[in-house]
């Protein structure tokens, strides 16, 4: 039954992915349909001529010509849609970003931004001050009216990119997402200025942040290198979000502490495009687009999205989430600056009750759920010891993997940083605040 359901799940995703591609390639699809229609109409008209015994060279010629035009046009459109091989185009991988070469702009340095990396395979830019301010920030969220669009060169070569980019599997489908359009800084969070977001989508992320890991080369000339939208090509400085022309869809990762005092980790499934077969937070994913309400706080909007991901992936209900707080923010270097919110949450549900929803089977490995115990005595010192032990445990797993072998990496960067930021957040709180949060 499980195999049957999994087959249906994958098939539905593939069908949806195909339909979404057709939406993006609507002009090519319309062209194909028009030529097919012309061919069919010409055949019917030809049969009508024969049926009425009006077979003359002129009469037949009038119908054969549009038939041939339709047939040839449909054939060419079909080849373009399904068998498009551009011998003049190539995708060449960009070098992996080395944290030794990456430069933080002077504004970032003055604001005390830092770079943290996990065995130099995944790295993040973050600001400890921002992390501690974010949960209590009073900035409202404002939606820009225009939507993000991909680079014209990428749009011109959609068919090739859909077929050749490793980040596009047959199961990859499109969804409307949320783009963060400005950098979160200490000065911004200490003010009451609004934080702007924009509508984007999952395909736009693939065709910008993911495409930035490649150069598009035509006849030995680079015609598109979106890495320049994350790192200034002149000096390798990181571009702030308000200058970057990538999708930069905002996501959330949440660490869940259960009623039996355990931290839950999930294993990413083989159907996901990110961190496949690696341990990940209890809930993680990009924000689905929901129009912000008037005057809504940015933090409240983020927490709603984080709770949705946590409910979907850990199979708990809204009422089961007792407390949730934002403990960090960063930009993934390996995703060319994609922003992420990190949260810490509690539930009365026990770790044994955490299951993977049926619709998430392709994204999460339902047979692998890890739960690390926290010390039984509940106080700040022991909680910090427990989180420090979790970080040590993750480092031990990572150290068993050959350096640079990303395919065998067992711990995702998002999980490691989620634990790290939760540790620093707990460290900043008083004993009374922690007792209230964890209901000690």
Please report, for residues 134, 209, 277, 344, the alpha-carbon distance to residue 420 in angstroms, rounded to integers and kept in the order given.
16, 25, 21, 11
The whole-angstrom separation of Cα 414 and Cα 265 is 11
pLDDT at 88: 80
**Does residue 215 sit in the same domain as residue 181?**
yes
Please check whether residue 176 lies inside any domain of the structure.
Answer: yes
Q: Give the model's confidence band at 366: pLDDT under 50 very low, under 70 low, under 90 confident, else very high.
A: low
The answer on 256 and 139 residing in a single domain is: yes
* pLDDT confidence of residue 85: 57
Using pLDDT thresholds of 50, 70 and 90, give the confidence band for residue 357. low
Q: Is residue 13 scored above 80 in pLDDT?
A: no
Q: pLDDT for 285-333, tens place per residue? A: 999 999 999 999 999 999 999 999 999 888 889 999 999 999 999 999 9
Strand order in the sheet with 176-180: 141-147, 195-201, 176-180
What percent of the chain has pLDDT above 70? 84
In a domain, 31, yes or no: yes
Task: Write down the pLDDT at residue 358.
Answer: 60
Answer whether residue 92 is part of any domain.
no
Is there a single domain that holds both residue 250 and residue 282?
Answer: yes
**pLDDT value for 398:** 76
Helix axis angle, 57-82 relative to 26-51, nearest 10°? 160
89 inside domain: no
- pLDDT value for 82: 64
Q: What is the largest CA-CA distance in the chain?
A: 97
Residue 166 binned pLDDT confidence (cut-offs 50, 70, 90): confident
pLDDT tens string 370-404? 788 888 878 999 999 999 999 988 888 877 655 55
Whether 184 and 262 map to the same domain: the answer is yes
Looking at the structure, tell me whether residues 194 and 296 fall in a common domain: yes
DSSP summary character for residue 287: P
Task: For residues 211 and 279, state if they share a domain.
Answer: yes
Average pLDDT over the chain, rounded to whole? 86
70 and 127 co-located in one domain = no
Same domain, 74 and 116: no
pLDDT of residue 87: 65
**Distance between CA atoms of residues 209 and 245, nearest Å:** 9
Instruction: Look at residue 99 in the predicted model and tell me its pLDDT.
Output: 79
Claim to verify: residue 64 and residue 105 sit in the same structural domain: no
Range of the domain at 54: 2-83
Report d(CA 437, CA 434) in Å as an integer. Answer: 5
- Give the ranges where 243-363 is alpha helix by DSSP (H): 298-314
pLDDT at position 222 is 96
Q: Is the pLDDT at 197 greater than 80, yes or no? A: yes
Both tokens assigned to 264: 């839950």
| Mean pLDDT of all residues in 352-376 | 73
- Whether 90 is covered by a domain: the verdict is no
pLDDT digits (tens, 9 = 90+) for 72-92: 777 777 766 666 556 688 999
Residues 209 and 68 in one domain: no
Q: Say yes or no to pLDDT of 4 above 70.
A: no
| CATH number of the CATH domain containing 271 | 3.90.79.10
Exposure string of 139-167, with b = 16+ CB inside 10 Å and e = fewer, is bbbbbeeeebebbeebeebbbbbbebbeb
In a domain, 310, yes or no: yes
Query: Could you tell me the CA-to-CA distances from 125 to 103, 117, 128 in Å, in that order?
Result: 11, 9, 10
Per-residue pLDDT averaged across 176-204, rounded? 96
Q: Is the pLDDT of residue 275 over 90?
A: no
Assign 1 a pLDDT band (cuts: 50, 70, 90).
Answer: very low
Co-location of 215 and 66 in the same domain: no
SS3 240: coil
Q: Of 55, 83, 111, which residue sits at a domain end?
A: 83
Based on the structure, what is the number of domains in the chain?
Answer: 2
Q: Is residue 7 part of a domain?
A: yes
Q: Examine the domain organization and report whether 316 and 272 are in the same domain.
A: yes
């Amino acid at each position: 039954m499980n195999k049957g359901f999994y087959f249906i799940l994958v098939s539905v995703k593939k069908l949806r992915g195909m339909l979404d591609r057709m939406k993006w390639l609507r002009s090519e699809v319309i062209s194909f349909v028009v030529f097919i229609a012309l061919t069919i109409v010409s055949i019917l008209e030809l049969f009508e001529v024969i049926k009425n015994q009006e077979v003359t060279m002129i009469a037949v010629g009038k119908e054969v010509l549009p038939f041939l035009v339709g047939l040839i046009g449909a054939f060419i459109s079909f080849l373009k849609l399904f068998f498009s091989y551009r011998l003049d185009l190539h995708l060449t991988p960009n070098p992996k970003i080395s944290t030794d070469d990456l430069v933080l702009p002077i504004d970032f340095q003055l604001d005390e931004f830092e770079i943290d990396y996990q065995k130099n395979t995944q790295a993040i830019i973050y600001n400890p001050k921002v992390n501690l301010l974010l949960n209590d920030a009073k900035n409202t969220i404002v939606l820009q009216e225009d939507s993000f669009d991909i680079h014209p060169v990428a749009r011109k070569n959609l068919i090739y990119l859909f077929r050749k980019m490793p980040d596009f599997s047959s199961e990859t489908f499109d969804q409307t997402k949320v783009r963060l359009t400005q950098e979160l800084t200490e000065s911004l969070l200490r003010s009451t200025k609004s934080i702007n977001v924009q509508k984007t989508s999952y395909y736009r992320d693939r065709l910008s942040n993911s495409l930035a890991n490649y150069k598009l080369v035509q006849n030995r000339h680079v015609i598109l290198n979106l890495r320049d939208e994350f790192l200034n090509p002149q000096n390798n400085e990181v571009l702030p979000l308000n200058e970057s022309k990538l999708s930069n869809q905002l996501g959330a990762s949440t660490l869940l502490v259960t009623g039996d005092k355990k931290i839950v980790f999930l294993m990413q499934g083989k159907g996901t495009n990110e961190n496949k077969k690696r341990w990940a937070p209890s809930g993680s994913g990009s924000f689905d687009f929901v129009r912000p309400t008037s005057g809504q706080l940015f933090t409240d909007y983020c927490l709603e999205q984080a709770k949705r991901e946590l409910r979907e992936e850990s199979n708990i209900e809204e009422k089961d989430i007792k407390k949730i707080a934002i403990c960090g923010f960063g930009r993934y270097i390996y995703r060319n600056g994609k922003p992420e919110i990190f949260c810490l949450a509690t539930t009365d549900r026990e770790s044994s009750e955490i299951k993977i929803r049926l619709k998430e089977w392709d994204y999460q490995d339902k047979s692998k759920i890890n739960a690390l115990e926290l010390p039984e005595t509940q106080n700040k010192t022991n909680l910090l010891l427990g989180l420090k032990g979790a970080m040590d445990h993750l480092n031990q797993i990572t150290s068993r993997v050959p350096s640079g072998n990303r395919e065998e990496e067992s711990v995702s960067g998002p999980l490691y940083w989620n634990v790290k930021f939760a540790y620093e957040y707990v460290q900043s709180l008083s004993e009374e605040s922690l007792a209230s949060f964890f209901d000690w």
